[in-house]
Copies of this chain bind each other. A is one copy, B any other.
Amino acid sequence: MIFTTKAEYGVRLLVELGRQGSGHPVSLKAIAEAEGLPLAYLERIVALLKKAALVESTRGAHGGYRLSRAPESITMDEVVLALEGAVAPMSCFVDDSEEGRVLCSHVDDHGHACATKLLWTRVQGGVIKALAHTTLSELIAFSERALPAMPAKAPAVVA
């Protein structure tokens, strides 16, 4: 499982916010029911999104959440970063700071550079690129065109 359910639920939450929200805030309860997710758990997840300033909240009755930016400007890398804390970490690069150098705890452990570090860096790059190139609005649009030309036929999974 490359991402935990935090990312899964968090993205679903944002998508739902983009679908339902037109100005007025949407309550978590509405989202939980629409997506079939546990409300109490969603509360903790949306707190992460709020801390990252991806959503805004209004308290009290008729309160709820809304996106704090246009969905076109929200890329998935910031979303996942906010939700998971780090995008695709490896034990190898714990505190790489900001320098682009390939520093590694294994470095010159035995007189040669750490090979896996090279690999994980590439993989992480691939993940981040894929995330950064996907915007929330894209996901909303995808979820909105409700499977065209697909009647109750349903080549279903549960079958």
Query: What is A's interface to B at a CB cutoff of 8 Å?
Result: 1-3, 5, 8, 11-12, 15, 34-36, 76, 88-92, 103, 105, 107-116, 118-120, 122-127, 129-131, 133-134, 138-140, 142-147, 150, 154, 157
Contact = CB atoms under 8 A, between A and B. Distances in A.
Nearest to A125: B130
Given A2-B127, A103-B157, 4 more contacts: A11-B115, A105-B157, A115-B140, A119-B139
A124 B150 CA distance: 26
A2 B110 CA distance: 25
A118 B91 contact: no
A115 B88 CA distance: 21
12 contacts: A1-B90, A1-B91, A2-B90, A2-B127, A3-B120, A11-B115, A34-B110, A35-B110, A76-B119, A108-B146, A122-B130, A127-B127
Given A11-B119, A119-B76, A134-B119, A113 B142 contact: yes
B108 A8 contact: no
